[in-house]
Amino acid sequence: MKDTILGFGAMRLPQTDATDPKTIDMEEFTDMVDYYMEQGFDYFDTSYAYHDEKSEKALKKALVERYPRESFRICDKIPTWLLTNEKDNDKLVNIMLERLGIEYFDVLLIHNINNVFINIAESCNSFEYLQKLKEEGKAKKIGFSYHDKADLLEEVLEKYGDIIDVVQIQLNYLDWNSQTVQSKKCHKVCAKYGVEIIVMEPIKGGTLVNVADSVKEQFQDYSDASIAEWALRFAGSQNNVSIVLSGMGSLEQMKENCETFNEFKPITRDEHRFLMKMAREIKKTLAIDCSYCGYCVKECEMGIPIPDLFNLYNGEKVYSLVSNHANYGTITATKAPASACTECGSCLDICTQQLDIPELLKDVSKLFEGI
């Protein structure tokens, strides 16, 4: 087994209907699982919430029912935002185990710890609950996924570092020195407390692949490596990182990513400097720093397809195209437009990039609706 391995993130799986996350393309997903296993990898990452709660069941069909339990590892996450009391921990975990068709988790995390959800997790004794599950053998490793600044991470690890095995953090070269995600600082805090690091968002939801042509040219001038390869190598080169998750959406992507990890080359100092320069270049072209995780969508009672609209807005800021306006019209023909935002604020706490979504939607409606 390789030291740092590619983890299969089951949050952006292939879909038969691109607009409906529930429609996982099981045929392509099963082929991807087979290819990934053939390449000698074994780590699958899911959550209660992914694909509108269909990701776990899809994994059961494509993986659990087709491979011996000891041949793969599964990480699942308790949806912190659904916890209302201590008993909910067990209720949700039992649903997760049943959906997956397994008896134990290899890794069990509290999902999306930030400055709001830490209070929910603490009031529902979720950390103590994880510890109990580990003692009972129902979770081999325990921890949390993290979406906030390094100071709070330090506070959480100061309190729970003794019982925590792993922390899943957002780590990529674009966010390495950012003021909001703080990848570098969070990485340093994890190293200080000696916890294993699982990397999520190494490609920032596709942002580090879909870069402007001027940025692509600079990558091509520097080397033949693909842009995705750069992002994965950066994440996998950091100390204490055991798994780099990639939310792969096609067999083609899967093959490319497996190749990067099969012949893994750590980033050199010169390459690190080059990537920091590229991060500055990409930031110049990025209007909204969305990672397209989609967590906000469920919170929005108006049904605004927030990441889709942010994606179009970012595209329009880089390349002003008639097709962006046409796509905006197509999307909002069946779903609420940006101007439907009531500024209720329900989406704010869950945003993994701490974006002021209602304010940004005003920019979107101004651009596409002229309001």
User: Does 146 help bind ligand SF4 (rule: CB under 6 A)?
Assistant: no
Q: Please, which residue, 176 or 261, has the CB nearer to ligand SF4?
A: 176
Q: Please, which residue, 132 or 335, has the CB nearer to ligand SF4?
A: 335
Q: Give dist(CA 201, CA 293) in Å, integer.
A: 9
**Residue among 321, 300, 299 nearest 368 (CA):** 321
Asked if 355 and 289 count as a contact pair (C-beta separation under 8 A), the reply is yes
Asked if 118 and 150 count as a contact pair (C-beta separation under 8 A), the reply is no
**Residue among 247, 357, 260 nearest 302 (CA):** 357
CB 347, min distance to ligand SF4, A: 3
**Residue among 255, 262, 280, 293 nearest 51 (CA):** 293
Please tell me the count of residues contacting ligand SF4 according to CB under 6 A.
29
CB 303, min distance to ligand SF4, A: 8
Q: Please, which residue, 271 or 289, has the CB nearer to ligand SF4?
A: 289
Restricted to residues 288-317, the positions that interact with ligand SF4 (CB under 6 A) are 290-296, 299-300, 302, 304, 306-307, 310
Restricted to residues 240-299, the positions that interact with ligand SF4 (CB under 6 A) are 290-296, 299
Restricted to residues 343-362, the positions that interact with ligand SF4 (CB under 6 A) are 343-347, 350-353, 355, 357-358, 361
CB 206, min distance to ligand SF4, A: 11
**Residue among 178, 156, 151, 176 nearest 167 (CA):** 156
Q: Please, which residue, 88 or 201, has the CB nearer to ligand SF4?
A: 201
| Strand runs labelled E in the chain | 5-9, 43-45, 73-78, 105-113, 139-146, 166-170, 196-200, 241-246
Point out which residues bind ligand SF4 (CB under 6 A).
290-296, 299-300, 302, 304, 306-307, 310, 341-347, 350-353, 355, 357-358, 361
